[in-house]
Amino acid sequence: MSKYWRFLVIIQLIVVLIVGLAGSPLAEGTALKIESLSSILLEPESGEVLFQNNADLKLPPASVTKLMVMLLVLEAVDKGQIKLTDTVTASPEACKMGGSQIWLEPGEQMTVTELLKAVCIVSANDASYALGEHLAGSEENFIALMNKRAAELGLKDTHYVNTTGLEPSLGETGNITSARDMACLAREVINHPTVFRWSGIWIDSLRGGKSFLRNTNNLVRFYQGCDGLKTGFTNQAGFCLVATAKRQGVRLVAVVMKAPNTQTRSRDVSKLFNYGFAQYKAYPIYRGGENLGKVTVFRGRQNYVQAIVPQELTAVLKRDFKGEIVRSVKLSPLVKAPVLKGAKIGEVLLSAGGKACGRVDLIADCTVPKASFFELCSQIFHHIIKVGVY
């Protein structure tokens, strides 16, 4: 072979190698230059980890601790145990918290909504403490709830000793967690969309405009689609951030821990998000408002309600996905009147390749009041006539 042809073959091999590397997925932990000590990127629908580096390293979480506070409060609201409109009275203990705070005064009253806003936007330690007391009666009781919920969620590297993430006294042990655990916790928190009422706000206020609030997560202003979730900083923990962003139907969760400064923290999360959004795509499955069947109503003024998809449902998958998306519609066999419009009466689960890739609750299309005795008698009579039994 002549030198000319040999040169041509070498050039072609180089081109093939370059193209092949450009089209292949980035190697986990190597191709992305993340400066934070520990990091992870998660697609929350499937739970697939797209990138990780030292994700199981046990580290202090600082105010990222408050993700668990947020979760427990939101779960209590959804269960009807407390209301967002409940009034919380600040105790002297809550007002002694240092660090980031809204300067609660002993006896000052705020609603659960206002305190959650303070926790989500400015990471207020006094607000977090007050919420814990309101929900569980004391900080000690609330810490027990935090650890119990962590165990239920399988957060094996996580243990809490306070509600704030503040550094412990000399010789004592503080809160501990890992980036992987915090990604799993964030995945649970975003199942309660109420949190986005506050976590994605850049600037707000309390006390009728007298108390200024600016989000400690700069990405909610500077990164398109970022709408949460929680920052943290102490000297021991460094700069931490659990963030989530949504673009074109795809939501991602990114965690970085022990970054050297706020700029690095934001830059690392932005890199993770950019990488994830380049890989994933939302495939439309159902439009909002579609009817997927009917559910029988027991002792209602009408015999059934329609099961409606409340909003667009998409399957979040890799951009090069070529397989089949499996749809599983599960309807309640029977619901008891009264049924409220918008009540959950089923769900749709999406999967591909054996992995979950999307879900949504199905809701009742209308309200069905409970039938009176005479209405029930009339329904029974008409049923007898219809089936031809005399």
Q: Which residues are catalytic?
A: 63, 66, 123
> Which regions of 236-334 does DSSP assign to beta strands (E)?
238-247, 250-259, 280-286, 291-298, 304-308, 313-318, 326-331
As a whole number of angstroms, the distance between CA 328 and CA 356 comes to 11
Q: What backbone torsions phi and psi does residue 363 show, to the nearest 5 degrees?
A: -120, 155
Across the chain, which distance is largest between two alpha carbons, in Å? 101
Rounded to an integer, what is the distance from CA 335 to the centroid of its chain?
Answer: 29
Instruction: Tell me the pairing of strands 280-286 and 335-336.
Output: unpaired
At 28 the three-state DSSP class reads: coil
- Token pair listed for 255: 């965690």
| CB neighbour list of residue 337: distance below 8 Å, 6 or more residues apart | 297, 298, 299, 300, 301, 368, 369, 370, 371
Peptide bond into 213 cis (omega under 30): no
